[in-house]
Each structure stands twice: as structure tokens, then as C-alpha cells.
Amino acid sequence: MIKTFDRSASNDEVVQALKKDGGVIIANLVSDEFVDSVSTQLRSTYDSQGTKHQDDFNGYTTLRIHAPIRLPGPVVDLIAHPRVMEVVGLTIGKDCDNFQLGSSTAIEIHPGETDQELHRDDDMYPIRFPNVEFQMSAMWSLDDFTEENGATRVVPGSHDLRDVDDVIEDDVVQAVMPKGSVLFYLGSTIHGGGANNSDAPRSGVISTYSLGWLRQEDNQYLCVPRNVADSYPEDVRRLLGYQTHGQYLGTYPGDPDGFWAE
Ligand SMILES: O=C(O)CCC(=O)C(=O)O
């Protein structure tokens, strides 16, 4: 089971459940109006670019927007939402000076799509350290996520590093949640998109956040044009990677902490 909290829950409760089960939901964290503004923002990009990334893994009946963080507007506020920043910091912050955006993707699963292959998001990192999560994810529901329309499939407890091939259907639960909710799961938690057997699309924005000393999944410096990054508030620029990790990693002249100059 994935525990669902409402937004009045403390971060401690949320993080404790996330660490125990590998996933947790905060329901109704943002308003329908805000979600609608994100959906409106994304519509034209889904329609013009959404089929670009279709393949066996992403599906052929699913539209995707790669790196929506490059699109100035409310989607950026979702990806850098203060509550998400708090939960991520409390979960992986112990293993880095600062965390960063690994990737962002908008995913609209259309009717007829089948279950996505179950996987771990952190499998691209070729090594593991005991008790260190390299990254975690936040999936925002832009529609009600239901069993029928493809709510994210999650295997609670699978951050025990069991083999993906050992997962059986009974181990899988779906992150059923109302529009405006957020599902957090660890990088080592097995999950995947669900089949959409309804008659309407299911849209969500999923971001990964990784330890600041790792290579980011997306090359944020190329995904987000420099003039767009410069137009973002400092917290978002830092999240993209426009800051050093400690004094020596990722140094550059404009480092906001001034390490370059020291
Ligand atoms: O769409 C979803 O619910 C999850 C998608 C996912 O896990 C992925 O594409 O890596």
C-alpha cells in the first residue's frame, strides 16, 4: 500500500512513510485552478512535440514533453514547489550539500496504452552505496489518477533492491490520487506507468531530484536555453545546477555563493 496524507501532514510523517514503503502520496497539494493553468501551458507542446519520444519503453499511445522545466510558466513552479523541495531535502539531503534537478517530463497516457515496463529510475548510475539513495522522484497528477486511466504502478518496499524480474503482479499497487496530488518515490523503488483503459488521457509531470555531486540525468544546461535559465528565480537556477556543490565541484564565475572567487 502507498500511504496517502493530506497537505496538513508533517514532513516528518511523509518522509518516514517514503523511507519505509519506498513511496508516499500527498493528496490535493495544489488547487485545481493551478493544475489547470499547468495543463493549459503544456497543451500546445504536447500537441506539437508529444510523439517525439515514443518507443517501446515510453509507449506509442503516450505523449511526452521532455524537460518541461525549459518552458517558463506554472510548470516551473510545480517542479520547484516548496513542499517538494522540503521533502526531497529531508530524504536525500543528508548525502549532499545540495540536490539538483535530474530530469523533468510531462507524460500524457492516452486510452489504449499498455502497462509500461517496471523499472528503477536510478539504474543509470552504475554503482550503489548502502543506505544512500542517489535520487528520488515526484509525480504530480494533472488529472485524477485512477486504476483505470493508468495511475503510476508502484511496488512498495522494492527499495530493498529485489530483482525487477522477481516482481509479481500482486506486489504492484497503483498511485490512485486526485488531480493536484503528488506521489513521491525513491530512485530505487520499482514502478512504471499504467495502462489506460479509460476513455480519456491521464497527464502528469514527473521530476527526479538527485544528489548534487552526481551527473544529472538531463543535461539541464543544454535543455534550458541560457536566457531562459537567467530569467528564473535563484532557487530554480540553483535547482538546475547553477551553483557549486561544496567549494570545488561545478565551479563557475557566476556561482551565487562566490566560491569561484575564493
Ligand atoms: O507515467 C508514469 O506514471 C510513470 C512513468 C515512468 O515511470 C517513466 O517513464 O520512467
2-40 tens-digit pLDDT? 999 999 999 999 999 999 999 999 999 999 999 999 999
Grid coordinates given for 253: 564565475
120 lines ligand 1 (CB under 6 A): no
Q: What is the mean pLDDT of residues 50-58?
A: 96
**Is residue 26 a contact partner of residue 182, using CB atoms and an 8 Å limit?**
yes
Is residue 102 over pLDDT 70? yes
Q: What is the 8-class DSSP label of residue 241?
A: T
Q: Which grid coordinates belong to 26?
A: 500527498
Tell me how far the alpha carbon of residue 153 lies from the centroid of ligand 1, in angstroms: 9
User: Is residue 124 pLDDT above 70, yes or no?
Assistant: yes
pLDDT at 89 over 70: yes
Topology of the domain covering 3-240: Jelly Rolls (2.60.120)
**pLDDT of 109 higher than 70:** yes
Distance CA(247)–CA(197), nearest Å, equals 51
The sheet carrying 135-141 orders its strands as: 3-6, 23-27, 182-186, 135-141, 202-211, 99-109, 62-66
Mean pLDDT of 222-250: 96
Q: What is the mean pLDDT of the chain?
A: 97
The model's confidence at residue 169, banded by pLDDT at 50, 70 and 90, is very high
Atom of ligand 1 nearest to the CA of 62: 1
E strand or H helix that includes residue 137:
strand 135-141
The pick from 56, 121, 139 for probing ligand 1's pocket by mutation, whose C-beta has the most ligand atoms within 8 angstroms, reads 139
Region 138-146: mean pLDDT is 98
Nearest to 121 by CA among 191, 194, 220: 191
CA-closest residue to ligand 1 atom 8: 192
Residues 6+ apart with CB under 8 A from 206: 104, 105, 106, 107, 137, 138, 139, 140
d(CA 192, CA 46): 20
**Please, are residues 160 and 133 in contact by the beta-carbon 8 Å criterion?**
no
Contact between 87 and 120 (Cβ < 8 Å): no
Enter the C-alpha cell of residue 24: 508516499
* Stretch 52-77: mean pLDDT: 97
Decide: 203 in ligand 1 pocket, CB within 6 A: no
Mean pLDDT confidence for 173-198: 98
Residue 174 · residue 153 · CB < 8 Å: yes
Q: Is 102 in the pocket of ligand 1 (CB under 6 A)?
A: no
Record the pTM.
0.97
Ligand 1 within 6 A of CB of 193: yes
Residue 261 pLDDT exceeds 80: no
Structure confidence at residue 79 as a pLDDT band (50, 70, 90) = very high
Banded model confidence at residue 262, pLDDT cuts 50, 70, 90: low
pLDDT value, residue 258 = 87
Q: What is the average pLDDT across 83-93?
A: 98
The alpha-helical segments, DSSP class H, found in the chain are 11-21, 32-49, 74-79, 82-92, 220-223, 226-231, 234-240
Q: Which of 144, 206, 217, 218 to mutate for ligand 1's pocket (most ligand atoms within 8 Å of CB)?
A: 206
Per-residue pLDDT at 260:
81
